[in-house]
Each structure stands twice: as structure tokens, then as C-alpha cells.
Chain A
Amino acid sequence: MRATGPSVESTLRILKLALHQFRNIAELAIELNPRFNIFVGPNAQGKTNILESIYLLSSLQSFKGSRNRELIGWDVDEAFVRGLVERDHVSYEVLITLTPAQKRVKIDGKSPKSSFDVFGLVNVVLFAPEDLRITKGEPDARRRFVDRAIFNADSGHLELVRNYQKVLRNRNNLLKQSPAERNLALLEVYDEQLGELGGQLMQRRASFLEELAPHFSRAFLEIVGEERELQLLYQTSGGISTASEALVGALVAARGRDLRRGSTSVGPHLDDLELLLEGRNTRAFASQGQHRALVLALKIGEIAYLREKLGFYPALMLDDVSSELDRQRNGQLMEYLKGFGGQVFITTTDLVHLGIDSDYQAFRVDAGTVSRTS
């Protein structure tokens, strides 16, 4: 850990990235631009893989949900990702070594006490074509968006989500037992435990959404260019309040049904987020263009939220987004990026469409080899 020179504005910058046998990238060592980094090349060359490696530094997980074996080059058994990160004027070297069986992390050469010391060091927001699922798809895509955004500002959220899921699986397991082996006192324990954790989870989500709402509305207004009535509604399962007692009550009330189904029918694992445009549910009614604008506004809203929480802009990764957005939305996104103070990583098949002409470094990605273009 080393403090760098004094500066007023707090920032997050990934200064260097080195990869070894990560997916199709055998070796890479690049210095990154503090503003725009553009990875250019035809399809299937390794552009998204580079973003995936940066995301790994932030959450130790692949955003594709891939297992270690898939992240390591096909013919070898070990890969690493190394990032030199400057956060809030302190620089850290984060090294993640991947073997098929495990991920090992070192920060400045030392093993951290807990993975929670690694999380939250690098804060990134990813915008990829699949993100259209957030507004168009099933509720789990929206829950993931919400939990990921909360985690980005407060890594402890992950522990809460994991504990909730573990207790949920325990309760479901009990529900599936035969009446003879079933222990009702134990089921009561899991109602209480799930209620307590679920209440905390709902409260975290509710307060995040409350804080996100104004940022989201502002971003949407800027994108569509006219005043539209927009609402972001948190829908708890069964419409219960976010208090732990309310969930415990609902779990007790649902017990008969849950025993018959063998699974838990109420709780934040079934939460949803409803987006209303002029009072109408966008999931069913919005046009393709409106969906794009909504997702973009959610992501920009998330960035604004994180900036407020962290005191600096998170890094932003845009994977192939130009191909997904139409010309107009693309122009608006680039306009937004000029005012965005954070570091940006963009992948594209074609540099010219981007319209970025200063403060950038472009890299050509060609079958896993990466080179600076001038």
C-alpha cells in the first residue's frame, strides 16, 4: 500500500492489467488510460474476456457465472489476473490466481483475512447486451441488478444474501421431509431465522431503491428528452411490509401451503421491481427503444448512486453496447460519458461509431493478443 500524491478529487483507476492464460489470452500486460479504454476487434477475439477479467478483480466472480475451469486457458491448469488499482489515492496490487479447484487472492502480496476485504476494492458497473433482461425478463434479473448495485457500495450485502439463501435452502429441505421425520419446532426456528435475514434483505433493497429512484428518473429524462411520469416500485412477495416480523408472520401463515409444495412461497427470493411509465407496467407495454432507454437509465442511476455512496465514480464497462443501442441512444450514451468522471472500458467491433476523440487509448484484440493501436 502506498499513498500517491495529494489530489482533491477522489477516484478509482485501474492503472495496469496483466493476464496469464486467462481464457484465450495467453499473456497480456497493459497500462490503462485513466479515462477511456477501447478494445477493438472482430467477434470472438477476446474483447469480452478482458472485461470479464476486470470484473473478476471486483467480485471474484465471472459475470457469465463461469467456473474456474472455463476461465483458465484450455491447455493449462493455472491462470492469473493482476490489477494495479488506485482507489481513493492509495494503490493496491490485486492478484487472483485461478486453478480448477480454487481462486487465491493476494493484495500487495499478502493473503487477505477474508474475501470481504477484497470485495469493494474495485467497484465496476457493467453494461452488456444481456442487460436488456433487467426490464424485459424474469424477476430474478431485476433482483440480481438490485443486489449487485447494493453490493457495489457495501460488500457486506453479499454475506446477507448468501446467509438468506442458505437458510432458505434449509427451510425448503425441512418442508420436503416426510411428516414422520418432520420437526415442527425446528421449522419454527427456520421461520424466525429466515424472517430475520429476509427482513434485513428487504430493508436494504427498499432503501437502495428509494435512493436510486431520483437518479433513475433524472437519467431517463435526459435520455428521452421529455418529461415522462416514471415510477420505480418495490414489490415484496405477497405485498408484505419489509419488517422481519411481517415476514415471520407470512411464513407462519404460508406453512400449510409450503408443506404441500415443498418450498417457501414468500420472502425476498420472490421480490420484484416494477417500472411504471405513465402508470403502465413497462415489462409488458414498453417498446424496444423504451426498454433500451430504461436499462440505460437504471445503469446511469446506479452509477450516480454509487458515486454518492463511494465518493467517486465506479469504473464503467460497456460490452458491445453500441451494437445493441440505436444511433440516437448511442449518441446520448456517449454524451453522458463525456461528463462521466470515471474510468471507462468499452468493447466494440468498430471504433468510428463511438465518436470518442480524446482522452482515450485504443487496443486491438486479435485472437487473444492485445496491442495498442498507435
Chain B
Amino acid sequence: MQIPETLNRLVRLLGKLPGVGEKTATRFAFFLLDEPLEFSQDLARVLLALKENVRLCSRCFNLTESERCRICDDLRRQNGTICVVETIPDLVAIERTGEFSGTYHVLHGAISPLSGIGPNDIKVRELLERLKSETVQELILATNINVDGEATALYLKKLLTSIDVPVTRIASGVPLGGDLEHIDKGTLGRALANRRPL
């Protein structure tokens, strides 16, 4: 069957989405074709608005549609505690715990010379600026528990020795509700190494 050029273009565009192959892209395209016009109008408008309106919060680099993100604008959040994370999904994960009522700083990456990412390629300078202008009681380093996340945390700690602010690092170990026998050895080993007095 001869596929109209517009449909073809749509399939090619959708096929660029992560996890979407040609087959799925074709299915999506035919779905859109069958839906009422309003659906496509809505979708098109949202896609454009996404690029036009969504940007990074000028203070913490979370996503926002205004100057500052909802977390930074929330008066109930404690401004004195900043949790430093690598990515926005990490921020979302911590938000989901409901355990944290401070603010964030999203680095947008971790230092990794091997991948060509140095301190200037992530939001480190912005963090230092922020610490100069805000009164901060605690900085929590919640970068990933792997070698790059650790190096990033160590580097930040080093930069911050000149600034008088207590720095903490998230703990790593056994997940809650995890039977010890089903936890992978690396995690269990770390949990043992980082044990604490009761």
C-alpha cells in the first residue's frame, strides 16, 4: 500500500522517541489518524507549549513554567536545607518519599572526565553562587552511589570547605522491606560496611 507522505513523516518522527520502533510508530500514527481532530489539535498545542513554556528554575534547575519552580515557590519548604541531586528523576524520587521538606539543587549530571563531563558542564558554579546569597543550614549530597556520584560528592565537599555549611551524604544500604537473602551482594556488603551503632 502506498502510504501518504505526511503519514510517513509522522512515523519517522515518532520513531525517534525512546523505546519506539517503526512498528509502534506506525501504530501510533494510525491511531492519531482515527482520533477526532480535537485530539491532534490538543496534542500539537501541548507540544509547542512544552517547548515554549517549560524551562529550568532559575534557582534550583528543576523544571518549571515560570521563573521559579513550585518547590522553590512553596512557602512551607525550608529554605535552609538544600538537597543536591544529579537529575530531575532523582528529585522526583526523593519528593515521592515525602520525607524531605527542604529545597533542591539539580546538577544535571555527574562529574565524569571519561565521558568528557567536568565541573563546568554541570550546575556547580550555580550552586556556589546560591550558597553565597542564601542562608543554608545543611547541604545534603544525594548524588548517585556509584563512582561518578561519589567523585561529584567529594568534589563538592572540597569546594565547600571554604564556605561554612554542614555537608552530609545520603546513606546507602539495604532497602526497606527487603529480605536480606534477596538483596544483591554489593548492596548488602555496603550496608554492612556502613553499619551504625544502635
Which chain A residues have a beta carbon within 8 Å of chain B's beta carbons?
113-114, 116-117, 120, 155-156, 159, 163, 166-167, 169-171, 173-174, 177, 181, 183, 185-186, 188-190, 192-193, 197
Beyond the given pairs A114-B184, A170-B114, A192-B154, 14 more chain A to chain B contacts, judged by CB atoms under 8 angstroms and listed by A's residue number, are A113-B183, A114-B185, A114-B187, A116-B185, A117-B184, A117-B185, A120-B185, A155-B185, A163-B146, A170-B112, A173-B114, A183-B119, A186-B119, A193-B150
Asked if B182 is at the interface of the complex by the 8 Å CB criterion, the answer is yes
Q: Separation in Å of the A245 CB from the closest CB of chain B?
A: 16
How far, in angstroms, from A155 to B188 measured CA to CA in the complex?
13
Q: Is the CB of A186 within 8 A of B147?
A: no
Asked if B132 is at the interface of the complex by the 8 Å CB criterion, the answer is no
Q: Which residue of A lies closest to B161 (CB)?
A: A185
Q: Is the CB of A169 within 8 A of B114?
A: yes
Interface of B is mostly: helix
Asked if B197 is at the interface of the complex by the 8 Å CB criterion, the answer is no
Which residues from A are CB-within-8-Å of B150?
Answer: 193
Which residues from B are CB-within-8-Å of A173?
Answer: 113-114
Which of A155, A186, A193 is packed against the most chain B CB atoms within 10 Å?
A186
Q: How many residues of B contact A (CB 8 A)?
A: 21
Q: Is the CB of A189 within 8 A of B155?
A: yes
Q: Is the CB of B182 within 8 A of A113?
A: yes
How far, in angstroms, from A190 to B147 measured CA to CA in the complex?
10
Q: Which residue of B lies closest to A193 (CB)?
A: B151
Q: Separation in Å of the B25 CB from the closest CB of chain A?
A: 21
Q: Separation in Å of the B164 CB from the closest CB of chain A?
A: 18
Q: Separation in Å of the A207 CB from the closest CB of chain B?
A: 16
How far, in angstroms, from A228 to B97 measured CA to CA in the complex?
64
Q: Is the CB of B114 within 8 A of A166?
A: yes
Q: Separation in Å of the A177 CB from the closest CB of chain B?
A: 8
Given contacts A155-B185, A156-B189, contact A193 B154 (CB under 8 A): yes
The contact of A189 among B154, B185, B187, by CB within 8 Å, is: B154
Asked if B49 is at the interface of the complex by the 8 Å CB criterion, the answer is no
Which residues from A are CB-within-8-Å of B186?
Answer: 114, 116, 156, 159
Which residues from B are CB-within-8-Å of A156?
Answer: 185-186, 189
Which residues from A are CB-within-8-Å of B147?
Answer: 163, 166-167, 170, 193, 197
Chain B 29-57: CB-based contact to A (< 8 A → 1; otherwise 0): 00000000000000000000000000000
